[in-house]
Amino acid sequence: MSRGKTVMYIDNSNIFRGCKKSGWRQSYQKIHRYLEEQEGAIWETHFFASEDPNPRDKQSYFYQALRRELGYQLHLFPLGVRKVVCTSCNHEEWVPNEKGVDVGLVTQLLKDLRNNVFETAIIMSGDRDYMDAILEVRNAGRKVELISWQWSLSKEIQEMCQERNIPILFLEDFREKFEKPLGDIL
């Protein structure tokens, strides 16, 4: 079954955390190709990430490659900070913290829904924060697909997907197809 006009929305922070836990990194290029081989072209991809005010060269090159080689629309938000307090000794420390990614992704998704930009939305994340937006897309008669790490997919989203027959592609199931070779950018 064809997806029709498809737009993908990627929460890089969620996927990056999954890479750290799983011990391997996915290739966005391989995932993109695989999805297009399965059911046709992805019309547009929105990539959401938090960025350090002084990004490392490798990070900047990665973002440039996403834009140049895959045509992704980048939505980069300044990295925030949050206070962490040790419960044992009360030591306080400010640590980097993602800000704006979830709200940015939902805003773009709902704006595109309102403007009839897609027939199918592919959301690459497992965050519970997207549940209401996914329901809005489905209630508007559009298709939704999810790509997530199995361990990071919220229980509520997984149950909703099962109830509403929303397909989920688990990255762990495709390691051989999606793993990025060491040294590759995309």
- Count of the separate structural domains present in the chain: 1
Contacts of 114 (CB under 8 A, 6+ apart): none
* pLDDT, average across residues 112-135: 96
Token pair in block for residue 86: 């040790």
Instruction: Provide the CB-side half-sphere exposure for 104 (13 A, CA).
Output: 20
Q: Strand runs (DSSP E) across the chain, as ranges? A: 6-11, 44-51, 73-78, 80-85, 92-97, 120-124, 143-148, 168-170
Residue 170 falls inside a structural domain: yes
pLDDT tens digits for range 56-82: 888 889 999 999 999 999 999 988 777
CA dist., res. 159 & res. 88, Å (int): 37
Output the pLDDT for position 57: 86
DSSP label at residue 160 = H
Give pLDDT, residue 1.
56
Average pLDDT over residues 10-25: 86
Lowest mean pLDDT among 43-52, 79-88, 109-118: 79-88
Q: Is residue 55 in some structural domain?
A: no
Residue 134, in any domain of the structure: yes
For residue 77, tell me if it sits in a domain: no
Please name the residues in contact with 96: beta carbons below 8 A apart, sequence gap of 6 or more.
Answer: 52, 79, 80, 81
Q: What value, to the nearest 5°, has the Cα angle with vertex 136 and ends 134 and 142? A: 80
More confident residue, 173 or 95: 173
pLDDT level of residue 142 (50, 70, 90 thresholds): very high
Has residue 128 got a pLDDT over 80? yes
Share of the chain above pLDDT 70, in %: 99
Q: Report CA-CA distances (Å) from 23 to 26, 48, 116.
A: 10, 22, 38
What's the whole-number average pLDDT of the chain? 91
Q: Does residue 15 form part of some domain?
A: yes
| Residue 129: domain span | 6-48+98-178
